């Protein structure tokens, strides 16, 4: 299951929101085998606009994610910081390409071949 979460955050609460989001993403990826990827970006010229790429093993994994204590903490803690939320169901254009065994390592310090040495 793939979806995009498109949010607009209250500009006066942006840092608070980003902190809560970071905690939620790190916890979800670490603890939930069905959460394959949660990757958040903000628009360069409008940082209050945030898009989260969400990839789950299946619909059951997504439903389980919504019931976890860390997700509930995130939702209740950020509800007054979010000005708008749009959830967009997505379809992979190249379905065979997915994160290796689901998890993207957050602990690697290796430079990729495109970074300056």
Q: Which residues of 76-98 are buried (b: 16+ CB within 10 A; e: fewer)?
A: eebeebbeeeeeeeeeeeeeeee
The mean pLDDT value of the chain amounts to: 87
Q: For 75-94, write each residue's pLDDT tens digit.
A: 999 999 999 999 999 998 88
Predicted local distance difference test score (pLDDT) of residue 98:
59
pLDDT at residue 116 above 80?
Answer: no
**Predicted TM-score (pTM) above 0.85:** no
- CA R_g for the chain: 15
Domains of the chain: residue spans and CATH: 2-91 (3.30.70.100)
- Across the strands, what pairs with 89? 3
The DSSP output letter for 24 is H
């Amino acid at each position: 299951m793939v979806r995009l979460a498109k949010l607009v955050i209250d500009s006066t609460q942006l840092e608070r929101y980003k902190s809560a989001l970071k905690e939620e993403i790190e916890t979800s990826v670490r603890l939930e085998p069905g959460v394959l990827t949660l990757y958040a970006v903000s628009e360069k010229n409008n940082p209050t606009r945030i898009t989260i790429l969400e990839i789950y093993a299946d619909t059951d994994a997504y439903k389980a994610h919504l019931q976890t204590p860390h997700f509930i903490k995130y939702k209740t803690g950020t509800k007054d910081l979010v000005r708008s939320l749009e959830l967009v169901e997505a379809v992979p254009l190249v379905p065979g390409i997915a994160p290796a065994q689901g998890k993207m390592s957050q602990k690697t310090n290796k430079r990729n071949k495109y970074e300056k040495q």
